[in-house]
């Protein structure tokens, strides 16, 4: 089936004009498609849901519909006009569900494209970083009364760092592609980080930290920004919204946004935590969600930054050892380069930990 055929299965009208693939995201395939209706250009985001990663796409979509309805209700209550871009999924033309299935059994979803919006794979504008921090903080706030337990777990143990270590150990044991010998140095570094990186999960396991509804993939490119005003339009990519720790969201965002280099940059010696960006994000995030945090949540936010960085290094390395089946790779060894980058960032975070604590205190 062509993209045009798939679009025809959704309840959207008009004449199909064309599509182009959007090369962002390491998991799903995304297309921007254009239609013309009554002389007006209509654009949509069409996404094929990666079934290897998300085993039950209908349940992923069910989570998304419930979450976006909840947020929309909050937006309306606030009368907040700048936040009207909450994602809205189109339904199938024939059936009563917000996805369609193509002739290969693949699941597709379709969202309205948010006009005059952009997303940032990297950015230096501190004001916009603060707004992105605010968007993720507000997301937490808006969902703080959503019944977390009713959400479907789209990827089991997604941010369970202890289990990520177990997975690495198992991969090393099997070593199906004889790759372990090439990454000995990275493996031993990650084991050095293990104790501290597993502390957060300990707090969750023993009930000292609450499970909240978290986004779990808080990269800057998952926030849609108004091209002209720089205001936040919507939080995107809700596939991994599940119960988790606030520190996961804070940590993952800082890991991505405040890295002086991109996530897969190979100039590892230039990889550092940018403290201005750290502060800009923290200011926005805490400003929106600070009032709901428990003492231990506040105390573990920076631990989350370290944890999420180490955890992603673990995931990239485990995927490499097991044959690069999970993340999209642009070239052989891409996952190793990503691992080295995240290890370099983890070291920088440790070096700057006290400084981070000082800044965080200012906003709590």
Nearer CB in complex with ligand GN1: 27/301: 27
> d(Cα 264, Cα 341) in Å, to the nearest integer?
6
**Which range in 3-11, 22-30, 197-205, 268-276 contacts ligand GN1 by CB under 6 A?**
22-30
Q: Which of 79, 86, 78 is CA-nearest to residue 233?
A: 86
Which does residue 180 touch among Mg ion, ligand GN1, none (CB within 5 to 8 A, set by kind)? none
Site string for ligand GN1, 209-248 (x = CB under 6 A): --------x-------------------x--x--------
CB of 46 to ligand GN1, least distance (A): 16
By the 8 A CB rule, do 64 and 240 touch? no
Binding ligand GN1 (rule: CB under 6 A), the pick from 9, 12, 27, 87 is 27
Starting from the edge strand earliest in sequence, which strands make up the sheet with 117-118, in order? 117-118, 223-226, 232-235
**Which range in 10-18, 25-33, 60-68, 128-136 contacts ligand GN1 by CB under 6 A?**
25-33
Binding ligand GN1 (rule: CB under 6 A), the pick from 114, 257, 312, 313 is 312
Binding Mg ion (rule: CB under 5 A), the pick from 217, 249, 252, 279 is 217
> d(Cα 276, Cα 302) in Å, to the nearest integer?
15
The C-alpha angle with vertex 105 and arms to 100 and 109, in degrees rounded to 5, equals 30
The one-character DSSP state at 327 is: S
Instruction: Give me the long-range contacts of 89-98 (CB less than 8 A, separation at least 24).
Output: 89/61, 89/64, 89/65, 90/10, 90/11, 90/12, 90/44, 91/10, 91/11, 92/9, 92/10, 92/11, 93/8, 93/9, 93/10, 93/11, 94/9, 97/58, 97/61, 98/61, 98/64, 98/65
**Which range in 41-49, 205-213, 215-223, 266-274 contacts Mg ion by CB under 5 A?**
215-223
**Which range in 110-118, 233-241, 249-257, 289-297 contacts Mg ion by CB under 5 A?**
233-241
CB of 279 to ligand GN1, least distance (A): 22
Nearer CB in complex with ligand GN1: 9/239: 239
CB of 128 to Mg ion, least distance (A): 20
Binding Mg ion (rule: CB under 5 A), the pick from 160, 237, 264, 337 is 237
CB of 50 to ligand GN1, least distance (A): 8
By the 8 A CB rule, do 309 and 346 touch? yes
Find the helix or strand (DSSP H, E) in which 224 lies. strand 223-226
CB of 310 to ligand GN1, least distance (A): 12
Q: Which of 35, 39, 40, 44 is CA-nearest to residue 15?
A: 35
Tell me which residues touch ligand GN1 (CB under 6 A). Answer: 25-27, 53, 217, 237, 240, 263, 312
Tell me which residues touch Mg ion (CB under 5 A). Answer: 217, 237
């Amino acid at each position: 089936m062509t993209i045009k055929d798939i679009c025809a299965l959704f309840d959207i009208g008009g004449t199909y004009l064309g599509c182009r693939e959007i090369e962002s995201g390491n998991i799903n395939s995304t297309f921007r498609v254009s239609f013309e209706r009554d002389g007006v250009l209509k654009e949509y985001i069409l996404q094929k849901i990666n079934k290897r990663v998300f085993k039950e796409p209908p349940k992923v979509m069910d989570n998304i519909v419930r979450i976006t309805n909840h947020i929309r209700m909050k937006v309306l209550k606030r009368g907040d006009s700048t936040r009207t871009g909450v994602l809205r999924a189109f339904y199938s033309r024939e059936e009563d569900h917000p996805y369609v299935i193509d002739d290969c059994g693949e699941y597709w979803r379709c969202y309205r494209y948010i006009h005059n919006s952009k997303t940032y794979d990297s950015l230096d504008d501190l004001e916009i970083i603060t707004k992105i921090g605010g968007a993720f903080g507000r997301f937490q706030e808006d969902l703080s009364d959503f019944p977390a337990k009713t959400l479907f777990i789209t990827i089991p143990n997604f941010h369970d760092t202890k289990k990520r270590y177990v997975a690495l150990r198992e991969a090393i044991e099997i070593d199906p592609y004889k790759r372990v010998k090439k990454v000995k140095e990275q493996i031993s570094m990650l084991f050095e980080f293990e104790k501290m990186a597993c502390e957060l999960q300990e707090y969750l396991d023993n009930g000292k930290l609450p499970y909240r509804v978290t986004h779990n993939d808080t990269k800057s490119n998952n926030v849609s920004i108004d091209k002209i005003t720089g205001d936040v339009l919507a939080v995107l990519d809700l596939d991994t919204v599940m119960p988790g720790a606030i520190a996961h969201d804070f940590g993952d965002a800082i890991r991505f946004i405040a890295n002086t280099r991109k996530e897969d940059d190979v100039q590892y010696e230039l990889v550092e935590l940018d403290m201005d960006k750290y502060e800009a994000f923290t200011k926005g995030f805490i400003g929106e969600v600070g009032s709901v945090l428990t003492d231990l949540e506040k105390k573990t936010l920076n631990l989350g930054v370290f944890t999420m960085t180490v955890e992603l290094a673990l995931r990239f390395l485990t995927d490499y050892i097991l044959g690069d089946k999970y993340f999209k790779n642009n070239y052989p060894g891409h996952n190793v380069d990503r691992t080295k980058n995240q290890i370099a960032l983890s070291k920088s975070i440790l070096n700057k930990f006290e400084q981070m604590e000082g800044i965080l205190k200012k906003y709590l």
